[in-house]
Amino acid sequence: MKIVCSKSKFSTAISIVLKAVSNKTTMPILECILIEAQGNKIKLTANDMELGIETYLDGEVIEPGRIALEAKLLSEIVRKLPDNNITIETDDTYQTMIRCEKSKFKISGKEGSDFTELPEIEKDKFITISQFTLKEVIRQTIFSTSDNENNILMTGELFEINEDKLKVVSLDGHRISIRNINLKENYGFNKVIVPGKTLSEISKILTGEIEDEVKIYFTSKHILFEFDQTRVLSRVLEGEYYKISQMLSSDYETKIDINKKEFLECIDRSTLLIKESDKKPIILNITSDNIELKINSTMGSLKEEVEIKKEGKDIMIGFNPRFLMDALKVIDDETISIYMVNPKAPCVIKDNKETYIYLILPVNFNI
């Protein structure tokens, strides 16, 4: 194989596929990036058997072929080469010469045929959304996935398509995050549970531009994201996702409207007096037209007040401050509405159109 391509394009392509390179593996081939040159196309692939990414880049193919190179070393070498054309040339023993200006690196490669390429999947079920929307919806829900592998379904997110609606759900046993998105077309019915790791890696690759689109294909085993010159293929989590509809009652005894920024900053300050190990809740005392927040700890005490608009009963309720902050941080609205029933029942933060619903379980407290 012999190819010539620009350092910057090669570097970008490597950084994309690098997200699917295995860090901990006993199979050295999984630590490699496969370079394939055919026609006038150069393709890079990485695959850790859960997540696979391939991306194309432009370049000159002088001699077609393929080689697998150790991903980290390749990425470091390319990053430190001058900003000019790079020539990569392999010989029969998989020795690989990487040249740029007067630098000549020689490293050992592996036969490309040891590499597991991404399988082709059926492409009959799909949706199209903007990269911006996908990147945002991941950011707005990923924090409430669990990293406890014992509840494997909690490590993923539900993507549920219902005609022209996409619902994305994550939950970790203490809280549920739901985002509802309007699609431009009617795509029928479908649902799939996507591993959280796949979503967080893909959100790092997405440009996040509104005008850039991503096509998402679903099968019973896989989910495929296609965008720009890149394909990201992931296994899906198999099983039946949690029934959440029964947890989302619309009854409430207390509803408050509150300035989001003020509320968030005030909870943030309260965490200063709580050590992580304490697991002490913050207690909200909601009366006529304000929330009073009080913390007493060995480090000191804090009293805060935030003005609110209240409907219904007064209530005193305790929360893990981090759970409230995680939800508040990803809501863009200036004023938010919080619905409560009693100090033992979950509170719900949602907008009128239910584009977002954040449900958080309260915590017991002693006064």
Under the rule (CB under 8 A), what is the footprint of its own copies?
A: 73, 76-77, 80-82, 102-108, 265-266, 268-269, 272-273, 299-306
Compute CA distances 284 → 180, 252, 342, 353, 362, whole Å.
29, 17, 12, 26, 11
- For residues 62, 10, 47, 111, the Cα torsion angle rounded to the nearest 10 degrees is 30
- Nearest distance, CB of residue 300 and its own copies, angstroms: 4
Nearer to its own copies, 104 or 184 (CB): 104
What residues contact 34, with CB distance under 8 A and at least 6 apart? 43, 44, 45, 46, 66, 67, 68, 112, 115, 117
Nearest approach in angstroms of CB 332 to its own copies is 21
Of 108 and 287, which CB lies nearer to its own copies in the complex structure? 108
The amino acid occupying position 124 is D
Taking the complex as a whole, how short is the minimal distance between the CB of residue 325 and its own copies, in angstroms?
A: 12
Please give the single-letter amino acid code of residue 153.
Answer: L
Q: Give 108 or 182: the residue with its C-beta nearer to its own copies.
A: 108
Give the type of residue at 269: R
Nearer to its own copies, 228 or 268 (CB): 268
Taking the complex as a whole, the smallest distance from the CB of residue 355 to its own copies amounts, in Å, to 29
Q: Which is nearer to its own copies, 81 or 176 (CB)?
A: 81
In the complex, the smallest distance separating the C-beta of residue 25 from its own copies, rounded to whole angstroms, is 18
| HEC per residue, the chain | CEEEEEHHHHHHHHHHHHHHCCCCCCCHHHHEEEEEEECCEEEEEEECCCEEEEEEEECEEEECEEEEEEHHHHHHHHHHCCCCEEEEEECCCCEEEEEECCEEEEEECEEHHHCCCCCCCCCCCEEEEEHHHHHHHHHCCHHHCCCCCCCHHHHEEEEEEECCEEEEEEECCCEEEEEEEECCCCCCEEEEEEEHHHHHHHHHHCCCCCCCEEEEEECCCEEEEEECCEEEEEECECCCCCCCHHHCCCCCCEEEEEEHHHHHHHHHHHHHHCCHHHCCCEEEEEECCEEEEEEEECCEEEEEEEEEEEEECCEEEEECHHHHHHHHHCCCCCEEEEEECCCCCCEEEECCCCCEEEEECCCCCCC
**Choice between 308 and 357, CB closer to its own copies:** 308
Q: Which is nearer to its own copies, 121 or 273 (CB)?
A: 273
Q: Which is nearer to its own copies, 104 or 165 (CB)?
A: 104
Task: State the nearest-atom distance from the C-beta of 79 to its own copies, in Å.
Answer: 9
Q: Taking the complex as a whole, how short is the minimal distance between the CB of residue 323 and its own copies, in angstroms? A: 19
Residue 263 Cβ vs its own copies, minimum distance, rounded to whole Å: 12
Nearest to its own copies of 24, 102 (CB atom): 102
The smaller minimum CB distance to its own copies, of residues 39 and 300, is found at 300
Smallest separation (angstroms) from its own copies to the CB of 75: 10
Min separation Cβ 48 and its own copies, Å = 22
